Each structure stands twice: as structure tokens, then as C-alpha cells.
Structure 1
Amino acid sequence: MSGTSEGPTPAADLNRAVITHSDLDAPPCAEPLPYRSVFAAAPLAMAVVDPEGLVVSANATFGALLGTPAEKLAGSVAADLMELTSDARSWHSYREVLGGRQARLRCTRRLKHPEGHSVWAQVTVVPLPGEGRGVLLSVSDITTRRELQARLRHLQMHDPVTRLPNRTLFFERLTAALDAESYERGGTGRIGLCYLGLDGFKAVNDTHGHRIGDRLLTAVADRLTRCADEAGYARANTPLVARLGGDEFALLVEHSTGTEQLADLAESVLTALQGPFDLSGRRLSVSASIGVVERHAAGTTPTALMQAADTTLYWAKADGKSRWTLFDPERNAHRITRQALASTLRPAIERDEFTLEYQPLVGMADGTLSGVEALVRWNHPQFGTLTPNRFIGLAEEDGSIVQLGRWVLRTACRQARRWQLDHPDEPPIFVSVNVAVRQVWDSDLVTDVAESLADTGLAPHLLQLELTESAVMGSAGRPLQALQALSDMGVRIAIDDFGTGYSNLAYLSRLPVNVLKLDGSFVRGFQYEERDADRPSPADEVIVEAMIQLAHRLGLTVTAECVETSAQASRLRGIGCDTGQGWLYSRPVPPDRISELLGSPGVRTDVAGTP
């Protein structure tokens, strides 16, 4: 403990009051003066030290504290008795007080008693009155207080259930391990962490109660400790096992040797937890998911390491639980990008960062352009142009899909009306707009559509709304009422990605649906077999042909998505498919490119797949 310069203590005031220069000069044979009686009988250990740092006299309490008769301490070097040379700062302050240049020194020292035990002492050094008279050294035995403080610290730093180090102590150790002085003194300069969460622990608490849950945590802690001890055998460091709270534990590996060491530790933990736990006659089983992080200590912070570990633990649970997963920077970068997109999605709508591109819907019989599908793009200032698969899921999660969907609907209707006005001699084309389920539930879709049509002047039959099969099938209540109202208005309803959900064609007869859009997986599988290049795969052809025929009997038209080759288009045309959409005809393009196609005899493609 470093020295401090503070005002005099009551003990120093007492000595200033009773000690005079004549007292110090009194011969040994003189009658004891009042201060000598006080000095000798004082319960506080005290010694008078001359300007050279040697003990002039010490009282009996001082001798008892050091385990040496007081009279034998005369002439001893006081700094050595009090271990004042053990750190440079205290040694400097002591010499300043001894020379009269500093008012006081107070520090704490751990002294070795001749009987073998240690004594914690609080040492105070103050100058004696009068120039060059030396100092008074007083010592308080604070061993009991220190032991109490140590016990309290242990309670504060350890989990009461498992007796493991708690979150506070774990972060204290982690912070110390990442300090440059720590890893630069030696070792590998690397650090590793296994962040563990029990799978289904809440169910144990809910079913068996917290008492059994606590016993399970204690039993898990014992197995983790054994794993750490085995991992530390014949190594310089044993991993620190800590309970961070709830059902989460951590194993901290200082000076790790690489990911292989951490992987072995994680594997041993999973193996150790496989066996059932016998708790008060109950046999319980538990598994764990573990996030594993291993990296250079230099440049790493506790916060960054824990964020990586927490993310990796989430991956382990998301990937199926009862496993360990290693931190992947690329996967984490994608997560960070996703978070960044989510946080800027709503403001981006207000800043008009979204645009629409349109992909032609082509009549398969004559190759004419009959409609387009509106596809939204996000012109992100940092990540460039983003397609819907990068942000539509996020918009559905946070509810901004309602605001975004309303903008797409209005913009697409306005554009379709503009094409109609710009090409009055051509048959008008319809525009198809995707609608998320949340738009049906969280907004008044019927009102939004009606207002968009009224504001733009687009006829209802020139608007097609696409909903996924899983959203439409089994619809009841509000969704079904909305679909029926839209159909009564004259708006076309299409089922997108048909064939990936319920595939209940009979149910379609009770829904106000006009169009089926066959999922692209059917069309992509509609290829020629290698063993017979003259005919397509019989299974795919039979399935697609059956769906088309049944749809036609129900009064529905069929659009095939993802048409990429002439062979696919030829076979689809041969079995009666009405409309095609895909790169064979065109990629999604800006509105002016669609204008160029209007009035042309047919949509044709070049080798790049653009019209």
C-alpha cells in the first residue's frame, strides 16, 4: 500500500502533547517522566526512531506484535522491521517523513511473525516535535479486520449456490488476463472462453421446483470443475470455472494454445454432462450448448470477448443445441450487418431509399407482355443495392413492413397507370405486388388498396396481390374477409410460391383466388434426364401437369416462376401453363425498360438474360 500525506492522527496529537526535547534527552537513570509511563503502557504498538532510521526505544506492545522483546529492538532498522522498503513509493514517503519534508505516512504491511503466522499491520509514521528529533512509528494489528474483509470478499465474489466464482470475480480475472502487463510477461499471449448455457433448465425449475434446480446447478458445477482440473493437468494454468447467472457458466482459459485446446475442453464438457444426475432420488438429464471463442489477448477487451461468446452460444442453440460452436468472424459480420439494417430500416423508408424494379410476366402462348411483378430494392448508403431477401424478413419482424408495403403498393399502382397513359394504343398491363401476412393483420389492407387505386386512377383489375401459400391456406376471420373484399373490388389475388406449403388444391375452391404461381423448385427440377436427353423427367412433368389441369378446372390461371431455359418454356407451354416469369424473358428492370417492351411483338432475350 502506498504512502499518503495526511493530517496528524489522535495518537500523533497525544505524542506531540507529552513528548518534549527534554524527555528525549533524559538520562536512563532519571526518574521516569510522564510520557515514558504512557509510552510503555500504551496498548498501541509504538517506537521512537532517530533521524538515521534506527529504533531508539519501543514499548512492550510493539515488541509483542513482532514477537521480540522490546529492549532487543533498540538499534534495529525500523524500515526493515516494518517492510517499508518492499515498494518504492512507501520507501520514498518514509524517507520524506524521516527528513521532515512530509507530514505523515500511513501504509499497510503484512509482517512475518517468528512463530510462522502473518500479521497484517497498519503503520503510521509522524515526525516528533523539534527539528531533527526523528519520528514516532505506531502500528495497529488489523489482522482480524483483514480476515473479515477477506471472508466478505469471498462471499461477494462467489455464487452462493454452486460456490463457484461469480460474474464479478470472473470479469475481474478476465480484465486482469487481458491487461498488457499480464500477457506480455510470458505465456502464449492468447485467451480462450467456453460460454455454456444449459438446455431446458427452466423446465426443470418449473417441473421440480427451485430446490432441485439449485441441486442440479451444483452437480453441473462439480462436473465442470472436474473437466477444468483435467484440462489443467500438466499445464501451467487450470481454466477458471464461473457461474455467470441463471443456467450460464464460463470456463476461462488464460494463455490458451489455440482453438484445438478450446474445442477439446468443450467436447469434454459435453461428454461430462451426458450422464444422468441423481438428485434426491430423481434422475435428471441435461444437455448444454457452448459458444467457443479463442483469440489473441492483444487488442481484445472483456466486452468484445463476451459479445463474441454470447453470439456464439446463440448460434449453438440455434443450430440444434447440445453442441459447441466456434466463433466465426464471417457469420458474425453477417449478424452485425443484419442488426445495422434493422436499426436503419424505418428511417430509410422516410428518406426514400427504396426503389422498385419490375420483372415481366409473359404469355407463354404468344410471348407477349401481360403484366409485371414489382420488386422492391433498398439503395443502402453503406451496403449498396439490397434485394428483398436481405431486409423483408427484418421488416416483418419489427412491423415496418406495413409502412414499406403501403409505399410499394402506391408506387407500383402509380407506375402501372403511367405506362397506361404513355401507351394508350396498347392493351394495359397489370402490376403484381407482394403482400406480407402482417400487412393483412396489422393494417387495413382493403382501405390501403382502395386509396391507392383511387389516388392513382388505376383500374382494380390491373392490380394483382401476391400472398404466399402458407399465408392463404387455412385463412379464416380477418384475412379471409380482407381477401374476399379485395376480390369483390375487382383486384386479382395470386398465391405465390405454390407447392411449398399445404398444396391443398381443393381448398382453393373456397378462396377468392385467381392465379397460382408455381414455385421455382418445380420449374428448376423440370429438366431432362441424363439417360434420355429427348424427354423431361416423368415425375416432374406429371406433377406440374396435374397441378395445371386442376387449377384450370377451378378457373385459375397458372404462372411458372424461375423459367430460365427454352426447353423449360417449351415443355411448360406444351402442358398448358399460361404465363412464364424468369431470366429467360428478363431480369427485374427499371420502369423505362418496361416501357420499351410495350408494343413490341414479344419479349425476347439475349444471352445476358435481359430483354
Structure 2
Amino acid sequence: MRWAALRLAAATAAEPVDTRTARSVGASLVDNDLLDGEALPLTVSALCTHLPDVAAGLGVTRNVTAARAVMSAVVSGYVGRMRDRILSEQETVRQAEVTARKQTQDALLSSEARFRAIFENSGVGIGIADMTGRIVDVNEAFASMLGYTVEEFLHINVSDFVHPDDVQGMWELYADIIAGNRESVRIEKSYRHRDGSSVLTDLTASLIRSPDGAPLYTVAMAEDARTRREMQDRLRHQATHDPLTGLPNRTMVNDRLAELFARPNGRIGVCYLDVDNFKVVNDRLGHDVGDKLLLALSGRLHSSVSGRGHMVGRMGGDEFVILVEDPPEGEVADLADSVLAALAPPFDVDEHRLVVSASIGVVEASVAGTTPADVLKSADVTLYWAKADGRNRWARYDPERAAGDMTRYTLSATLAAGIEREEFEVEYQPIVRLSDSGVVGVEALVRWNHPTLGRLGPDRFIEVAEETGAIVPLGRHVLREACARAAEWNAAHPGADLFVSVNLAVRQAHDPALVSDVADVLAETGLPARLLQLELTESALLGPAGRPVDAISALAGLGIHIAVDDFGTGYSNLGYLPRLPLHSLKLAGVLVEGLRGPAAGAGRIVTSLIALAHSLGLTVTGEGVETTAQAAQLRAARCDLAQGWLYARSAPWNKVVAELDRLRP
């Protein structure tokens, strides 16, 4: 403020008084925001009081009148500049208000234009109604969807849209919207088209409120749902039907089964069908021909049940199923016969004439106590029974046979682990000379101490072991233990020459490591090769082409005795006997069984076989000897050896040792 006081003092000293400068100082006080409205009177009073003194200090002597003229000019300059500032600020505010109002109006106009463009050009039907249901605006999409013009639509009330297919409670929901209790609702609604047809829509109804919250309008947005429904139907059909044949697929079959099983007292019949040797068609003629054959076959299947109300479905590949609801007695079997008859005529596919057969598994059951999965599994199992029984036939489900198959599966699944856990035990049955009943050898017989099925004889698991390949390690285990026992006993009884006889299965005979395995066991146990007899069936001795298996000659070359087991059963080929390095024949138990009575036929057959074997330099052993009459007839026929319950049952080695000492001549 010092500069202002000095300038004012100079203005006071001027002659005349410099009021312009004083006004300029007053204006500068506003420009520099040095004073506010409340401080101005105090400032002017102070200047009036002290300005003469300041001027005197500058060597100027003036009266109070001059000082007041200067102060009046200061106030005038201050007030004038302040008024200009206020007016300027007011104008700025006014311009801002005008600009804002214009922008708001422009925005509203733009927003309304955009809404109108969306409203009129939208593919979704949009309609606006007041609280009385009167339609006040509608777009072209909604009007044309129902077959009206916009002008015609505006004469329709919302209440006119009631349709018989409206979902229950729909109009109550709309009433809640009008009452302001609900803001919106989305439902599927049918409208009546102007031509009388129905138009299915996805409808969304919403409430528009006034600024104070009162309901004003309802807005309905409707989208034609027929295309979506058609698409859903197509997708549903694709999901539940086979694309090649058009038949219900596995999913739909399972759904139908679930429906049938939902009835507590119902019954179900199933024909599970598989085309025999269909793979040959695909492999030789191509998958295109195979697909055409399946298509033609499915047509015949469908025709064979036409009018009966049964479902025919394709489970996949060349497998089909027919479901029968509450079948009368014999209905499913008759159906299976009619299906086989329908498939019997040849199929003409392209330039090929194809003869097709099928195997069918038939199941009839009450839904109580079983499940859809169990029924299909039973039908599938039965189907493969029909295939195993010769194909081109049907088989009926048999619980006992199924239980046997399940046991067989259990054995197959646990065989390898059983060998590792040493669950298999070797028993021995003495072999005696018929002439004096002296023990000359023992046959090793394996038993399985199964952890859940108990003690099992070889008839329960040997075939399964062959199928799985487990027979090779199992046979090696039996051979090693039998040779070790025999070697130990012969070492303790010099000159006894007790031989041990071990069975070899077909798969063992064809195992490349057989000869080396046997040689290793003999070397490991110390048993002389001449005291080991290997028993093989005819199928194990001969290869696929009827030629002797090379391993047999190699084993005989080691000094091991080779015996034909179960000789006389099936269609024995006597021609191979001279071509094999054999030492012995073991007569099948069924031949020995025939010697129980006085029937001359069985005796002549046995006598002839023994004579034939002797003529070839072979010894003969009769198996399964249980009576003295059988032993007598064998002795009379000059049979060399015998074994069976008449002499001793099979037993663990420690029990057989005592019998060996007792039965030795």
C-alpha cells in the first residue's frame, strides 16, 4: 500500500489536484484485490486523516479540501472498477447458463433422435402403453410381427392380447407392474396373429415412472421366438437322434428307459441286436457301403415293429436296441424272431447284394429291483451269448449263466495278482502200476485258494488262464515246484525213479521260451529229464496247420517223456501218433467211466486203443479209476498204469509222501 499512499500524496500536491491519478489508484486496488467491501471505508478514513501529514512530509502543504477531493476520486475509481467487475462476472454467468441450456437441449434432442431411430428401426417389437392399457406408441417391428400397421396397432388395448396359451399368473404379474409393485418381468408369451395363427415371443415388460416415482407407462419388448424354438427343436433332435439312420440314439434310449422305470409296477422288454460280421463289409467294401447298409437295415428294423409302439434305437456302430413296454408273455421272443426274419432277405446296396444276419440278446424283467443300466448290461451280455452260440439267433438272459460269466471275469481280473501272492497250490495224485499197484509216479495238479471264491479246481480257471496268457507264468510255477518235490524225494530214495507228470496247456506249448524254461527248471532242481513227463492234449501237440509243434521234439530230445492227455475224446487223429516223439497215452476219463458196468462196447474200444498204443511202443495210463471193476477191466486189457480215487485222491505233498511210502511195492 505504500506505493498507493505516495501516488495519492503526489496527486494531492498537484495544482490543480490530480483526481485522475486518484481514480486510477482506486481502480488498481480492485484490480489487485487489495481491499474488500468492508475494508474500503476504513481505508478511506485513514487516508483522509493521515494524507495531509504524508503530503507535508513531502514538502507539500495543502488543505483538507484537497485531501478529500483525492479520497473522493479514489472511492470513485474503486466503485467504478468494482461495478465493472460485477457486471462482467454476471455476464459470464449468464453466457455460461445460456451455453449450458443449449447443450442440454441439444443433448435431449440428440437422445430423443437416437431413441426414435432405435425404436423405429429395431428388429425387436417395442410397444408403449399407459396405465389404462391404451397403446400410445408402437414400432413397425411389433405391428408387422402380428400382421398390423402401426396405425391399426394403436387402436388395440393391452387387454386384447389375452391368449389361451398364456402361462398361469402372467396377467397377475402385469397387474403388479401397473401397480408399481414390480419393475419388470420376462416371460414367453403367444400372441394371436391377424390371420388367426399364433406367434410365440420372448416378452419383457418394464415400468416407466414419473420423476416423483408414480407409474406412467409400461414398455413391452417382444422378440419372435419361433426361430429360436425351431433351432432348439433341431438341436434337441440332433442331440437325441442318430444322424445316419434318424433313429433315437443312446441318449434318447436311456431317457425312454428312465421313463419306463419310473412306473413302480411296470415291466420292460429289450432286444439288443448286433449285426454279424459287419466289420467285413466295412473292410472289404468301404464305410460308404457300410453306412448305406446300416441305413437300409434300420429301415427294416423300424418296419418290423411298426404299429406296435416299440422304440427302435441305434446304440452306436452296428448295435441297435428295441424297447418294449409291459410285454405280454412271449412277446419279446416273438419280436426277436420277426426281426431275424425281416433281416433275412438280401440287401441291395449299390451294385452289391449283401446277405446279413444278426445276433440278439433278449431280456424281460420287472422294473422293480433292477436299473436301466443293469437291463442294458444284461442284454449286451446275452447278445454275446447268441454270437458265441453260432450267430443269426437270439438268446434269452439267464441269471445263472450271467453269474458264471461274472465269476469268470473275476477270475480273469485276479489271476495275475493271485500268482504274485502265491495263492496257487500244487497237489499230487499217485500213478500206479496196474500189475502190482506199486506207485511209479505222481501227477501235479494245481489248485487256487481264491480269497473270495474259495478253493478252486483247475476246471474253474485253466481255460481263463489260457485266454489271458497267465497260464505261462502259472505253468512255470507248477513245473518248478513239481520238479523240486520229485527231485527231493528221489534223492532221499535212490533207485526209486519216481517220475512227476505235469500238464502243458496249448498256449504254453506255443510259447517260444518253453524249451529253455523247462531246461532251466531241470538244471535248477536237479531232476533227471527222464523222470519228467509232460502231458499235452492233441490240440497242444499240433500246430494250426496240423504239423507237430517244434518244441515237442526239442523237449523229447532233452530226454523228457511226452504223453498225450485225454486220448480218445473228440475226433482224435490217429495219423499223427507215429509222427510225434511220444512215450505214453492217457486214456480219457470218459472211456474209463464206461468200464463201470458189463457193457462190451466200451471195453472193446479201450482194448483196441491200448493195443494200438502198444503197437507204437507207447505205454498207456487209465485216468479216473474209481472202482475195482474198472481196474480189473483195464488190467485185462493190458493197460500199464492207472490213477484215480480207487488208489488215492490228490493231496498236498506232505500228505502224499506218507502214501508213497505205504504204496511202494
* 2:300 equivalent to 1:223: yes
Match of 1:118 in 2: 198
Task: Check conservation: 1:563, 1:582, Cα contact below 8 A.
Answer: yes
Q: Give a deviation string over 1:147-196, Cα, whole Å, max 9, x none.
A: 24434544554444433333444344444544x3xx36xxx533322111
Q: Which residue of 2 aligns with 1:546?
A: 608
Give the conservation status (yes or no) of the 8 Å contact 2:128–2:138. Answer: no
Structure 1 residue 556: Cα displacement: 1.6
Q: In the TM superposition, what whole-angstrom CA distance separates every residue of 1:16-46 from its partner, at most 9, and x where no partner exists?
A: x999xxxxxxxxxxxx999789757765323
Contact 2:537 2:564 in 1 (8 A): yes
For the structure 1 residues 601 and 436, does the alpha-carbon distance in structure 2 shift closer, same or farther, using more than 3 Å as the test? closer
- Pairing 1:170–2:253 present: yes
Q: Which residue number in structure 2 is paired with residue 482 of structure 1?
A: 551
State the Cα RMSD in Å: 3.7
**1:353-403 per-position Cα deviation (integer Å, ceiling 9, x unaligned):** 111111221211111222111111111111111111221112112211111
* Match for residue 367 of structure 1 among 437, 451, 454: 437
2:302–2:312 contact (8 Å) kept in structure 1: yes
CA contact (8 A) 2:129 2:158 kept: no
More divergent stretch after superposition (111-120 vs 313-322): 111-120
Q: Does 1:400 align with 2:483?
A: no
Residue 202 of structure 1 and its aligned partner are, at CA, apart by 3.9
State how far apart, in whole Å, the 1-side matches of 2:290 and 2:121 are. Answer: 59
Partners of 1:586 and 1:51 in 2: how far apart?
106
Matched with 1:351 is 421
Give the structure 2 partner of residue 197 of structure 1. Answer: 274
2:387 to 317, 324, 330: 317
Q: State the shift of 1:285 in Å.
A: 3.3
Deviation at 1:265, TM superposition (A): 1.7
Matches within 5 A, 1:96-495: 105-111=185-191, 113=193, 115-129=195-209, 131-133=213-215, 135-155=218-238, 157-178=240-261, 180=262, 183=263, 189-205=266-282, 212-230=289-307, 232=308, 238-253=309-324, 255-258=325-328, 260-278=330-348, 283-297=353-367, 300-420=370-490, 424=493, 427-473=496-542, 480-495=549-564
Residue 10 of structure 1: aligned partner: none
- 3-state SS of the aligned residue for 1:447? helix
2:32 is matched with: none
Q: What letter matches 1:401 in structure 2?
A: I
Counterparts in 2 of 1:135 and 1:75: CA distance versus 1, 3 Å: closer
Q: Distance in 2 between matches of 1:593 and 1:475?
A: 41
Contact 1:41–1:59, Cα closer than 8 Å, also in 2: no
Q: Contact 2:562–2:583 (CA<8 Å) still a contact in 1?
A: yes
> Partner of 2:167 in structure 1?
85
Offset at 1:468? 1.1
Distance between the aligned counterparts of 1:109 and 1:435, measured in 2?
A: 79
Q: Which residue of 1 aligns with 2:628?
A: 566
Farther-moved stretch of structure 1 (367-376 vs 425-434): 425-434
The alpha-carbon deviation at position 145 of structure 1 amounts to 3.7
Say which structure, 1 or 2, has more relative contact order (CA 8 Å, 6+ apart): 1
Residue 290 of structure 1, CA deviation: 1.2
Q: Percent identity?
A: 47
Q: More displaced, 477-486 or 336-345?
A: 477-486
Change (3 A) 1:489 1:217: closer
Aligned partner of residue 391 in structure 1, secondary structure: helix
Q: Which protein is richer in helix relative to its size?
A: 2
User: Which residue identity is paired with 2:167?
Assistant: T
Secondary structure at the aligned position of 1:582 is classed as coil
The total of aligned residue pairs comes to 550
Distance 2:365 2:173 in 1: 42
Q: Secondary structure at the match of 1:490?
A: coil
Stretches of structure 1 lacking an aligned partner (at least 5 in a row): 1-16, 20-31, 233-237, 529-535, 604-611
Cα distance, 1:205–1:43 mapped onto 2, change above 3 Å: closer
Structure 2 vs 1, CA of residues 513 and 128 (structure 1 numbering), >3 Å: closer, same or farther? Answer: same
Q: Structure 1 residues 303, 104: closer, same or farther in 2, change over 3 A? A: farther
Q: Is the 8 A contact 1:51 1:132 kept in 2?
A: no
AA in 2 matched with 1:496: D
Using the TM superposition, give the Cα deviation of residue 580 of structure 1 relative to its aligned residue in structure 2, in angstroms. Answer: 0.9
- Cα deviation digits, residues 394-453 of structure 1 (max 9, x gap): 2112211111111111111222234345x6378352221111232233242232223222
Provide closer, same or farther for how the CA distance between residues 481 and 44 of structure 1 changes in structure 2, counting only shifts above 3 A: closer
Residues 196-233 of structure 1, C-alpha deviations (whole Å, 9 max, x = no match): 12224444455655555444433322222222223x2x
Supply the distance in 1 between the matched residues of 2:299 and 2:428 (Cα, whole angstroms). Answer: 62
- Displacement of 1:49 in angstroms is 6.2
